């Protein structure tokens, strides 16, 4: 049986490559992205115990710092580099930089020797705050550039985050809940594959039409992560916390940012999310090698 946790990054990269080479399925799935993401979020939240949020009270100042690393630092870095970007790439990177960390950070932190409980609390808190923080950040940086409805964006993110939370809590009350939990990773992996195909397929022409902008976006994202990862490590008080902060800061919910970009800015704004997803998964390998070497 395929070890999904071990090959998660490879699955993501292969799916993205497949979507770029064969855009047909993605063009069909494009209309259903919001519903696929809602289903994926609902399944992810089945394993989230909101009682864990009580940990925030005991270490509240650290979680304020973590929210800064998730939402503010990457967005600020994109803004600093905006003179080197055209408007479409700038918009796409602002959208993905302002997104919360992915739920996947929980098992990636565990895989790399971090603290999955802290990653869980961090990403849950970030998702609960994202309807307000992500909306506010995007509006703040882009409202003078493009026409954005703050309330429409707020409603979309509420629908993508809060509604799945309600659905997940309803499922937890069902007697079949215990039987579903062991299959959540497999279900979510399948949903992620469908979601990525639906995101990448429509953006294929954008990806290849302007190779110079694609390469520039790769370079900018790589530079941002090369700045952010050492900062996250520096803020950690001990190694396992440093690893957790680095993973949280690196691995964005680029599926959520893609749906936001597609709904409000069109397919031209997908490039940043796709590039961020590819580079973040690529960065997992050298990060893993570095941590393995530091154990010796």
Beta bridge partners of 252: 101
- With 60 as the cut, is the pLDDT of residue 286 above it? yes
Measured CA distances, 212 to 58, 232, 263, 269, 281 (Å): 48, 30, 25, 16, 21
pTM check: above 0.85: no
Close Cβ partners of 95 (under 8 Å, ≥ 6 residues apart):
138, 257, 260, 261, 265, 269, 272, 273
Mean pLDDT of 122-128: 84
Contact 277, 203 (CB under 8 A): no
8-50 pLDDT per residue, tens = 677 778 888 898 888 899 889 888 888 888 888 788 778 767 6
250-266 pLDDT per residue, tens = 888 887 888 888 888 88
- With 70 as the cut, is the pLDDT of residue 1 above it? no
Q: Which of 267, 213, 265, 205 is nearest to 89 (CA)?
A: 213
Q: pLDDT band at 55, cuts 50/70/90? A: low
231-248 pLDDT per residue, tens = 988 988 888 888 889 889
Contact 231, 73 (CB under 8 A): yes
23-27, 69-73, 144-148 — which is least confidently predicted?
Answer: 144-148
Mean pLDDT of 148-163: 76
Q: How far apart are CA 1 and CA 75, in angstroms?
A: 39
Q: How far apart are CA 193 and CA 59, in angstroms?
A: 36
- With 90 as the cut, is the pLDDT of residue 76 above it? yes
What domains lie within the chain, and their CATH numbers?
A: 8-295 (1.20.1530.20)
Q: How far apart are CA 231 and CA 72, in angstroms?
A: 13
Q: pLDDT band at 155, cuts 50/70/90? A: confident
User: Rounded to 10 degrees, what is the CA torsion of 198, 163, 137, 196?
Assistant: -10
């Amino acid at each position: 049986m395929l070890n999904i946790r071990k090959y998660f990054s490879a699955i993501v990269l292969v799916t993205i490559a497949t979507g770029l080479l064969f855009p047909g399925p993605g063009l069909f799935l494009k209309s259903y992205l919001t519903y696929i993401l809602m289903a994926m979020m609902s399944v992810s939240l089945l394993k989230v115990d909101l009682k864990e949020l009580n940990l925030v009270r005991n270490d509240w100042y650290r979680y304020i710092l973590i929210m800064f690393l998730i939402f503010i630092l990457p967005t600020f870095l994109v803004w600093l580099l905006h003179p080197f970007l055209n408007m479409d790439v700038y918009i796409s990177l602002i959208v993905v930089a302002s997104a919360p960390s992915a739920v996947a950070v929980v098992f990636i932190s565990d895989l790399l020797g971090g603290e999955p409980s802290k990653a869980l609390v961090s990403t849950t808190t970030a998702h609960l705050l994202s309807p307000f923080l992500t909306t506010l950040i995007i509006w703040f940086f882009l409202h003078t550039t493009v026409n954005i409805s703050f309330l429409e964006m707020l409603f979309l993110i509420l629908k993508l985050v809060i509604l799945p939370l309600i659905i997940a809590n309803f499922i937890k009350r069902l007697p079949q809940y215990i039987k579903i939990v062991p299959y959540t990773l497999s279900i979510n992996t399948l949903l992620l594959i469908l979601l990525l195909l639906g995101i990448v397929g429509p953006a294929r022409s954008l990806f290849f039409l302007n190779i110079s902008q694609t390469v520039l976006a790769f370079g900018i994202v790589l530079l941002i992560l090369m700045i952010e990862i050492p900062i996250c490590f520096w803020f950690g008080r001990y190694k396992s916390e440093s690893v957790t902060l680095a993973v949280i800061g690196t691995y964005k919910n680029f599926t959520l940012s893609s749906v936001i970009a597609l709904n409000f800015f069109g397919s031209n704004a997908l490039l940043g999310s796709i590039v961020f997803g590819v580079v973040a998964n690529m960065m997992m390998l050298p990060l893993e090698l570095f941590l393995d070497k530091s154990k010796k």
